[in-house]
Amino acid sequence: MATADQIKALIRSHASENSEQFYTTALQVAAHEARLGHGALAHDIKGLVDKARKEHRPVVLQFPKELQGFVLSEEPSVPRSALVVESALGERVDRIVREHRQTEKLKSHGLMPRRRIMAVGPPGTGKTMTAHVLAHELRIPLHTIQVDRIVTKFMGETAAKLRRVFDQMYDIPGVYLFDEFDAIGGARSLDNDVGEMRRVLNAFLQFIEKDTSDSIVFCATNSPQLLDEALFRRYDDVFHFALPGEAERKRLIQNVLGTSVPEKLDWDVLLAKSHDLSQAEIDLACRDALKEAILSGEERVEHAVLERMFDERRSRISSVG
Ligand SMILES: Nc1ncnc2c1ncn2[C@@H]1O[C@H](COP(=O)(O)OP(=O)(O)O)[C@@H](O)[C@H]1O
Ligand SMILES: [Mg+2]
């Protein structure tokens, strides 16, 4: 039997919702039982604690001090259904979710779920969003690494910080998003010292190779030309994002406008006017049209307004590019 002190400690930690203290005490009970020769009971208690720890992990844990300010943690609520990508890419996103939902089953067969993803493609096509979707669908936090802040002139320091991030992946499960990855992966170094930058990249590749946590490493970049073959090989999958085709544009417009879509949709016109726009731009144009409808007390978006919003977005691109 557990000692009186252990029982009291269990109750106290339960009452104060200090689960870590609770588990520690429970393990002390197990050790106590083992010493009394109750090996089977000790084993059972330890098994229960391990299982409970796994299932009731607090969702977002604290990163160590030296990483605070470099990592942003959140619990996204972006469902998979909001993500509009071509079906082949969608299936690959779904595959990650499916594999991670059944990690234990795969592991029992000596297999690992795919967990190192490189996302490549033009701005506004859903790379960052996909990291949010994965975190939401798997009900794990999203940890966004502020790559631009981690990468400093001091390469040794940069590599040390990256190592600390990878160290955390075991203890703080989640989707680790390295957005604007080319700041690490490309030659776009702050002082143009390509050799030094290469060393940071090599360090990153070593970390990613050694990492055997269950966390997902999700790197995203707009500039694939900066990243080389050797790098792509380290990933379990490379997601190529692209501007939306007709089917995707249609789905996106319907998704965003919902029941406020214009009564009669002239798809030929809308598809022509949304041509060359990214998902992000189409999303914004639709929201602008929604706002107009709301402000003028209309239940539905007017077709002409929607067209105008697309025109506005398109003229913005042509004036920039
Ligand atoms: N594929 C997509 N499907 C649905 N919405 C999208 C998509 N891509 C972008 N968006 C919208 O645009 C916003 C910005 O996109 P983001 O994921 O940051 O693009 P990227 O990281 O590729 O530059 C998203 O939050 C979302 O509202
Ligand atoms: Mg992005």
Q: Which domain holds residue 17?
A: 4-55
Interval 251-262: pLDDT, tens: 999 999 999 999
Check residue 189 and give its pLDDT. Answer: 46
Interval 46-69: pLDDT, tens: 899 888 877 765 555 688 888 888
Check residue 188 and give its pLDDT. Answer: 47
Burial class (CB in 10 A: 0-12, 13-18, 19+), 308: middle
Which residues form the pocket of ligand 1, taking CB atoms under 6 Å from any ligand atom?
Answer: 82-85, 123-129, 220, 241, 252, 279-280, 283
Judge if 198 and 260 occupy the same domain. no
Cα–Cα distance, 103 to 213 (Å, whole number): 11
Return the SS3 of 60.
coil
Vertex 217: Cα angle to 213 and 220 (nearest 5): 175
* The length of the chain, given as a count of residues: 321
Q: Which of 196, 212, 240 is the last residue of a domain?
A: 240
Judge if 294 and 171 occupy the same domain. no
Vertex 224: Cα angle to 172 and 241 (nearest 5): 75
pTM of the model: 0.80
CATH (domain of 291): 1.10.8.60
Judge if 190 and 74 occupy the same domain. yes
- For residue 79, which ligand has an atom nearest its CA? 1
Whole-Å CA distances, 176 to 44, 74, 97, 164:
34, 11, 15, 13
Judge if 72 and 180 occupy the same domain. yes
Q: Tell me, in angstroms, the distance from the centre of ligand 2 to residue 1's CA.
A: 56
Judge if 203 and 84 occupy the same domain. yes
Residues 6+ positions from 285 with CB-CB distance below 8 Å: 274, 277, 306, 309, 310, 312, 313
Q: Which of 240, 257, 289 is the last residue of a domain?
A: 240
Judge if 77 and 218 occupy the same domain. yes
Judge if 190 and 132 occupy the same domain. yes
Judge if 93 and 201 occupy the same domain. yes
Check residue 57 and give its pLDDT. Answer: 57
Q: Which of 194, 216, 240 is the last residue of a domain?
A: 240
Judge if 293 and 174 occupy the same domain. no
Judge if 163 and 212 occupy the same domain. yes
Low-confidence ranges of the chain (pLDDT < 50): 188-190
Q: Is residue 60 part of a domain?
A: no
Q: Is residue 173 part of a domain?
A: yes
Q: Which of 74, 81, 129 to mutate to test the pocket of ligand 1 (most atoms within 8 A of CB)?
A: 129
Check residue 1 and give its pLDDT. Answer: 66
The protein residue with its alpha carbon nearest to ligand 1, atom 11, reads 280
The protein residue with its alpha carbon nearest to ligand 1, atom 13, reads 280
The total of structural domains in the chain comes to 3
Amino acid identity, position 313: R
Which tokens go with 62? 């604290």
Q: Tell me, in angstroms, the distance from the centre of ligand 2 to residue 133's CA.
A: 13
Which tokens go with 307? 């067209």
Amino acid identity, position 36: L
Judge if 131 and 223 occupy the same domain. yes
Burial class (CB in 10 A: 0-12, 13-18, 19+), 177: buried
Q: Which of 283, 284, 288, 313 to mutate to test the pocket of ligand 1 (most atoms within 8 A of CB)?
A: 283
